Structure 1
Amino acid sequence: MRSRSLSLGLVSAAFVAAMISAPGASAAGSGAADEAWPPGNCPQGKVCVWAHWAHPEPAPVETPSVATDQEWSGDAPALTYYNHTSRNADLKYYYVWPDGSKSTYTLCVPHTSGNIFYLPVNVTAVTWHDGSC
């Protein structure tokens, strides 16, 4: 048990040292680096959807399966999304259950925010949301 305590103490000390020596975020960065799910490579003015989890964390760098600045419809795999616009957007998506049945949902994504779907889904539409989410 003592070696476990010692190991945790060393890990904690290494973490604190790394945090102290880490460079600060640029003031010009608009705080995006502090977000739980930052925009990654989603261009300003677009709504983006990625087929995989954000990797390397915390932001996706793969080519988005959807990147649009207008209303869009289609069928694209999705696990991560970001609304890098000044408007709120609705994402229409579906999940396929193990028995093959589908459930369809709509999610309002506030402007300049993103998150993850916890299950693999397919986005079928991006529309602009009037009012707040």
Structure 2
Amino acid sequence: MRAITLAAIPAAFLGVMASAPSASAWSAGNCATGTFCVWPEYWYGDTDMPPSVATEGEWSGSARGHIFYNNTSRDMTMTYSLAKDEGQGASHTACVSRGQGTYFTMPMTVTDLSWRVDDGTPCRW
């Protein structure tokens, strides 16, 4: 009986993981084609929330970010930090593939978007 119970746990976990949306399943929302967008709050599906950043190229500044989507034709490098650190905490970078997007589990401050220099490594998102 115990072996059956223990076998059911991984099976249940795999079922949950299989139903979780992947980054490629994230909606572009109201992010126009050719634009990289960052939204200040969480949403799922369609939205009329204006993005905190909507750029057709490289950008730098400071914008609250909870969701992002790269609707451009190129991969981009995004620099960000925890919003609670008000730009004073550690800075992180991530590559965001074209046509991909996802969300941060905590609000972030996005500070830089630049075209990715292809070094042969795959993008994180």
Q: 1:58 to 1:102 in 2, by over 3 A?
A: same
Is 1:47 the counterpart of 2:36? The answer is yes
1:90 aligns with 2:77: yes
Q: Alpha-carbon deviations, 1:13-36, whole Å to 9, x = none?
A: xxxxxxxxxxxxxxxxxxxxxx53
Alignment gaps of 5+ in structure 1: 1-34
Q: Do structure 1's residue 107 and structure 2's residue 97 form an aligned pair? A: no
**SS of alignment partner, residue 103 of structure 1:** coil
Deviation at 1:101, TM superposition (A): 5.5
Q: Which residue in the other structure is 2:51 paired with? A: 64
Structure showing greater Rg: 1
The count of corresponding residues between Structure 1 and Structure 2 is 96
Aligned to 1:121: 108
Q: Which residue of 2 aligns with 1:73?
A: 60
- RMSD over aligned CA atoms reads 1.8
Displacement of 1:60: 3.5
Preserved CA contact (<8 Å) 2:77 2:114: yes
Q: State the Cα deviation string for residues 71-98 of structure 1 (Å, max 9, x = none).
A: 1000000000000011000110011557
Q: TM-score, normalised by structure 1?
A: 0.66
